[in-house]
Chains A and B, each alone.
Chain A
């Protein structure tokens, strides 16, 4: 079974600054997908970024980028130029070969003006 660990329950950052959210996972599989989801107060889950394990290049989506370290089983999310609208819960998730998605416990991010 896979496990996903987010060691930072809460974080805060000043508007316009950069913040990094940590995620580690444990798996014996070699082919998998990793995701970061954002859950604002509206509770809707929004896909932020996705990384295929077989790709060495780190995924990037505008202000969001990841640092994928496959050997270390680490998948951190960097948010640049933080905006007030980035305030939300962020979940790291792992997708195995059987299409089952496992989520971490989440990190609550507060962007301060």
Chain B
């Protein structure tokens, strides 16, 4: 198993540009989520999904969209990038509920918005 994969590893955007951060897992996990990590801070939950076709907002959802059309993929979309979205983004997955299952994190995507 490849586990949780994220692409790209690095990305530089200009203000106002759009892009999609990709996340995929090959473990047949139902629960997937996106976090952002800012310097000196812990991870903050952006959006999460408990299964295909179901998504919900986390702590900091503004400026981000997600969809979950398949079990494997959970892309994160920035429709109009802003400098405040400069951060490291982590995707994570677990078999079912995070409360009882180990959560697996991807390697992260470092995004810079100029």
Contacts and interface: CB of A to CB of B under 8 A. Distances in A.
B64 to A, nearest CB: 16
A105 B42 contact: yes
A71 B45 CA distance: 27
Interface string B71-114: 00000000000000000101010000111001101111000000
Given A33-B99, A99-B99, A101-B98, A43 B45 contact: no
A68 interface: no
B45 A100 contact: yes
B102 A103 contact: no
Interface size class of B (residues with CB under 8 A): 20 to 34
A103 B58 contact: no
A43 B59 CA distance: 21
Contacts of A95: 98-99
A105 B102 contact: no
Contact of A93 (B41, B42, B88, B102): B42
Given A99-B31, A106-B41, 20 more contacts: A4-B42, A42-B107, A43-B108, A44-B106, A45-B43, A45-B90, A45-B105, A47-B102, A50-B102, A95-B98, A99-B48, A99-B99, A101-B43, A101-B98, A101-B103, A102-B42, A103-B42, A103-B43, A103-B44, A106-B42
